[in-house]
Amino acid sequence: MSETTTRKPLSLDDLLAANKDQFDQLFSRQMTQKPPPVVPVREAVPEPAAVTEPSEPAPAEPDEADHGVGNVNAHLNRLFSIDWSSEVLERAIADDRVTVRCRLTVRDETIEVEGSAPNRGDADAALQRAVDDALLRGAARVLGEEPPARPKKPSERWKERDAPPPPVRRVVDEQERAGLDIVTLDLIENALRNARHEMDAVLFRSAMSPVIREQHDEFPMITDAEGRMIVGQFGSYISEMLRQRDFDLRPGDVILQSDPYKCGGAISHINDWMVLVPVFHRGDLVGFTSMFGHMMDVGGPVPGSMPTAATSIFGEGMRIPPIKIYEAGQLNQGALDLLMNNTRTPEMNYSDLMAIIAGCKAGEKRVIEICERFGAALYRQACAALLERTNTAMRQLIVQNLPEEPQSFEDFVDDDGCGNGPFVMKLTVWREGDHAYFDWTGTSAQAPGPVNFYLHEGMFKMFIGVYMIMVFDPQILFNDGFYDLIHVNMPKGSLIHPEFPAALGCRTHALARQFDVLGGALGRHTPETATAAGYGSSPYFLFSGTDEAGRPFQLMEILYGGIPGRPIGDGMDGHSWWPLFENIPTEYLESFYPMVIESYASLADTGGAGKHRGGNGIEKVYRLLEDGMVSIHDDRHRTQPWGILGGQPGACSRKWLQRRDGEREELPSKIDGIRVRKGDRIVFRTAGGGGWGDPLERDAGRVRNDVARRLMSIEKARDDYGVVLMADGLQLDVRATRDLRANMKHSRRPLELFEYGDRPATAT
C-alpha cells in the first residue's frame, strides 16, 4: 500500500509573495526598456495644429533652427488659440541640411515662409525641425517680433491655472477637420473604449486584494492633454491635482497621491490611491492615463483604515500628497518603502499599486499606438470632436428633462457613527436655456464624524452626466465634454464640501445618497422618467485577526442592496450602485479567509411595492472560524428608500451578531471593534429599493412569479398588491384578486408623488 502525502494548500500570503516576485521582474523591465522605434504611417509631414498642453521635450542639440521655444505646435496654440493651420509646400533633403517652404494661415492672414535645419542622419527629425523653424519665423512675422517669447514650462502653466480647463469649443474649422471623417472618429473612439477596458483587465489580473481583483473597486480614465476625460468613469481631476504641485512632466513619470484635500476631492478618502501617467508622443504631451483603487489598509487606529469614530482625517491613516513614485522610469524606492511601512497589508498594497501603474501604462501604450496610426494631430482633433459630440447631446438632454422653475428635494444620512444626525442633503435643480444649475444650499453642516463627502465639482458633474445619460440616453459616450453646461454650488463647510481636516472615511453613504436626492429633484419635474430611491448606501463588512498558523488576515467586502423601481421595469435585487462592481465569490472568501458563508440570498419583501417593484436587499450570514475583530459600515437603517408615483418605500437595513452560545446582539449601522469568537455569526441585511408606480397596476401573474421565486411572500402579495394566491403560492385566484384590488383601490387614500415611509423627526 503506497503512502499518500497531504499537500498543504497555498495561502494568500504565498500567492502574494509569488505575485510580488513576478511583478518586480516584469515591471522593472517594462519601465527600463527603451520605447519601440517610431515607424511613420506616412511621409513625415508636420501635423496640423491642435489644442494641447505638452511638457517640454528633452533638450536637443542646439542649432540655428532652435529659437529656444519648446514644442512649436503647442506654442502657436498659445499664441493664436487654435485659429491657425500650416501646410508644407516644398522640401529639399540633402546630406547636410533640410530646407522647407511652408504656408502658415493665422485667422484670415496667409503667409509663405522658409525654414531649415541641419541633417544629422535622421531625415525625418531634421524635416520636423525645419518645419518648426519655418513656423516660428512665420509666427514672428505675424506678431511683428523676433523671436517669439519662450513659453513657460508645463509645470508653471499648471500651477498658475486658477480656472478649470477651457470649455469645449463648438465651432471647428473645416480646414482643421481635414482628414477626420466619421469612420476615423468612430475607430478612434472605439480604440479608446477598448484601451480603457484593457486598463481594467490588466489591473484585475495583477491586483491581489479582493476589493480590487474581485469587486473592481477602481476607476480608470484616459484624457486629452488638457486633462479632460475622453473615456472613463470618474471625470476630470488632473488640472486640480497638478495645480497642487509644480511637476516638470517627462516620459516615464508616474505620479501617486491619496489626499482628498490635495486634489480638490478628486478622490474622496485616503484609502483610494490615485496614479497619473503623462502620455508623450514624439516629445509632445498628448494626454494622461489615470486610475485609482481602494487599498485594503493605509494605517490608522483600526484595520481597514475607515474608523467610524474618527473626528478628523488625521485619525484615519496615511495621507499621500502628489509625489513622483517613478521619475523618468526610475522607481522612488524611498517613497515606496515609507508607504509600505505604514500599512497592515504591505504585500497587498504593493501588488495593487503596481497593478494600477501597469494598467495606466497599458493605456499609455494604446494611446501612443493610436497616435502612430492616425497621427497626433488627428488624434487631438478626434478627442475634441468626441467632447463636442457629448456636449451637443447633453444640451438636448438638459432642455428635454430639466425644469426651468427650480425644484428642490431632500433626503437624509442617518448618522455619522459618533451619535450625531440625521444629516439633511438638499438639492435644488433648474435650467436656464441649455445650461443646468445644481445648488446644495440647505444641506447640513459638516458632520463631526466621518460621513462627510468632500465633493469635487468635476466629480459631481460626472455624477450628473452618469445619471442623465444612463436614464435618458445610454448610447451617449460619457466624457467631460458637457462640463461647461453644468453649474454647481456646494456651500463650504457643508456635509458635501467639508473644510479641512474633516474626517471622510465613511463618505460613501453621502455619495450614494446623492443619486436618491438627484432622482427626487428631477422626479418633481418629470416623475414618469424618474426612479425611486435605492438602498442609498455603501455597506462594508470588515473582518481581521490572526489565523491558526499565526498569519494575520484582513478582509474588506462591499455588499449591495436593492436598486429602485424604474419606468422601464423592476429594480434589480442585491445589485451594486456602481455599474461595473461585482461581488466577491463565496469560493474566494472561504478559500483565503477563516469563514463560511452560510447564506447569501435576496431578502424577500424588502423591495418596495410598485407597478415596477423595488429591488430586494440581500442577507449574508458569515460564520467566523477564528477569533478577530469586525467592523460594520452602512446606512438606511432609519430612513426608508422612498417610492415614487404611488410606489411604496423599501425596507431598512439591519445587522446583528449571533454568538455561538445563541445570544443575539443587534448592531448599529456604523461600528468598529466588535470582538468576535470562533463560531460566532454576523447577519448582514441591506436595504431594499423603493417601488415605482401603483402596486395595484402590477400584472398579477408577475406577482405570482415573484412569490414562486421567493422574492416576495404570499402575505405581501395580498397586502400590498391585492393578489390572492392559493396556499402553495403557485396558483392565482383570479376572482378573489379582482375583488380585493377593487376594494383596496376604493378605500385607500390618494396616492402621493413620493411615499417616504419612516423619516426622521427633523424632516420637513
pLDDT digits (tens, 9 = 90+) for 76-120: 766 776 567 788 888 888 878 889 998 888 877 888 999 898 887
Lowest mean pLDDT: which of 29-33, 106-110, 325-329, 460-464? 29-33
Do 535 and 683 lie in a common domain?
yes
Do 489 and 578 lie in a common domain?
no
Mean pLDDT of 235-248: 69
Residue 63 lies in a domain: yes
Over the stretch 339-386, which tens digit does the pLDDT of each residue have? Answer: 999 999 999 999 999 999 999 999 999 999 999 999 999 999 999 999
Q: Look at residue 727 in the predicted model and tell me its pLDDT.
A: 81
Do 353 and 384 lie in a common domain?
no
Q: Indicate if the pLDDT at residue 166 is higher than 60.
A: no
Q: Look at residue 36 in the predicted model and tell me its pLDDT.
A: 41
Helices (H), 165-313: 182-206, 210-213, 238-243
Q: Are 310 and 450 in contact (CB under 8 A)?
A: yes
Lowest mean pLDDT: which of 135-139, 161-165, 499-503, 600-604? 161-165
Q: Is 731 exposed, middle or buried (0-12, 13-18, 19+ CB in 10 A)?
A: exposed
The residue that leads in pLDDT, 581 or 1, is 581
Q: Are 543 and 589 in contact (CB under 8 A)?
A: no
Do 346 and 418 lie in a common domain?
no
Q: Indicate if the pLDDT at residue 730 is higher than 80.
A: yes
**From its phi and psi, is residue 231 left (phi > 0), alpha (psi between -120 and 50) or beta?**
beta
Do 512 and 539 lie in a common domain?
no
Q: Place 67 in a pLDDT band, splitting at 50, 70 and 90.
A: very low
Highest-scoring range by mean pLDDT, 142-146, 208-212, 259-263, 465-469: 208-212
Over the stretch 661-670, which tens digit does the pLDDT of each residue have? Answer: 999 999 999 9
Residue 668 sits at the vertex; the CA angle it makes with 296 and 419, to the nearest 5 degrees, is 95
Give the domain-ending residue among 530, 549, 565. Answer: 530
The residue that leads in pLDDT, 341 or 728, is 341
Q: Look at residue 517 in the predicted model and tell me its pLDDT.
A: 94
Q: Look at residue 337 in the predicted model and tell me its pLDDT.
A: 97
Do 69 and 143 lie in a common domain?
yes
Q: Indicate if the pLDDT at residue 564 is higher than 70.
A: yes
Do 254 and 134 lie in a common domain?
no
Residue 249 lies in a domain: yes
Residue 390 lies in a domain: yes
Q: Indicate if the pLDDT at residue 606 is higher than 60.
A: yes
Residue 486 lies in a domain: yes
Q: Look at residue 516 in the predicted model and tell me its pLDDT.
A: 92
Do 445 and 536 lie in a common domain?
no
Tell me the whole-structure pTM to 2 decimals. 0.75
Number of domains the chain contains: 4
Q: Are 459 and 267 in contact (CB under 8 A)?
A: no
Q: Is 283 exposed, middle or buried (0-12, 13-18, 19+ CB in 10 A)?
A: middle
Give the domain-ending residue among 340, 356, 374. Answer: 374
Q: Indicate if the pLDDT at residue 53 is higher than 90.
A: no
Residue 499 lies in a domain: yes
Do 539 and 525 lie in a common domain?
no
Over the stretch 402-426, which tens digit does the pLDDT of each residue have? Answer: 899 999 999 999 999 999 999 999 9
Do 397 and 523 lie in a common domain?
yes
Mean pLDDT of 212-232: 91
Over the stretch 618-632, which tens digit does the pLDDT of each residue have? Answer: 999 999 999 999 999
Give the domain-ending residue among 665, 696, 727. Answer: 696
Q: Look at residue 752 in the predicted model and tell me its pLDDT.
A: 93
Q: Look at residue 81 in the predicted model and tell me its pLDDT.
A: 60
Residue 722 lies in a domain: no
Over the stretch 181-194, which tens digit does the pLDDT of each residue have? Answer: 889 999 999 999 99
Do 652 and 550 lie in a common domain?
yes
Over the stretch 12-48, which tens digit does the pLDDT of each residue have? Answer: 666 666 666 665 655 555 554 444 443 333 333 344 3
Residue-range definition of the domain harbouring residue 600: 531-696
Mean pLDDT of 750-754: 94
Q: Annotate 676-688 with DSSP letters as a single string.
A: E-TT-EEEEE---
Q: Indicate if the pLDDT at residue 172 is higher than 60.
A: no
CA distances from 371 to 254, 279, 376, 477, 562 (A): 21, 11, 5, 21, 44
Q: Indicate if the pLDDT at residue 168 is higher than 60.
A: no
Residue 11 lies in a domain: no
- In sequence order, the 6+-apart residues with CB closer than 8 A to the CB of 336 are 325, 350
For residue 40, what is the domain's CATH number?
3.30.160
Lowest mean pLDDT: which of 113-117, 234-238, 259-263, 277-281? 234-238
Lowest mean pLDDT: which of 13-22, 201-210, 433-442, 668-677? 13-22
CB hemisphere CA count around 50 (13 angstroms): 27
For residue 249, what is the domain's CATH number?
3.30.450
Mean pLDDT of 512-535: 90
Do 293 and 405 lie in a common domain?
no
Lowest mean pLDDT: which of 19-23, 483-487, 702-706, 756-760? 19-23
Residue 692 lies in a domain: yes
Q: Look at residue 624 in the predicted model and tell me its pLDDT.
A: 98
Query: Average model confidence (pLDDT) for the chain?
Result: 84
